[in-house]
Amino acid sequence: MDTKEEVLAILEELTGENLADQMDENIFDDGLLDSMASVQMLLSLQEKFGIDVPVSEFSREDWDTPAKIVAKVESLENE
């Protein structure tokens, strides 16, 4: 699986929805993720990809769509 597929699998596990066709939908505005689920998402992403995303540096605006999450994970993987 590539990064996009892995991120979508994590999001599907958290939201119960396949978001592959909704890459630019705001998952917070749509009620698919809340504060607790976003913490779980970060923990899952950190575990899966070996990246470090301190909750204190988490900004919803940077992580509010599946496309942004994939891009963020890819950029953190390349650091």
Domain locations in the chain as residue ranges: 3-78
Locate all alpha helices (DSSP H) within the chain, ordered by sequence.
3-15, 35-49, 66-77
Half-sphere exposure (Cβ direction) of 7: Cα atoms closer than 13 Å: 21
Q: What's 3-78's CATH class? A: mainly alpha
pLDDT along the chain (79 residues), means of 10: 95 96 96 93 95 84 95 90
Q: Residues for the chain: how many in total? A: 79
| Nearest-angstrom CA–CA distance, 64 and 28 | 6
- What's residue 79's pLDDT? 80
Q: Are 12 and 19 in contact (CB under 8 A)?
A: yes
Task: Find tokens 């909750």 and name the residue.
Answer: 55
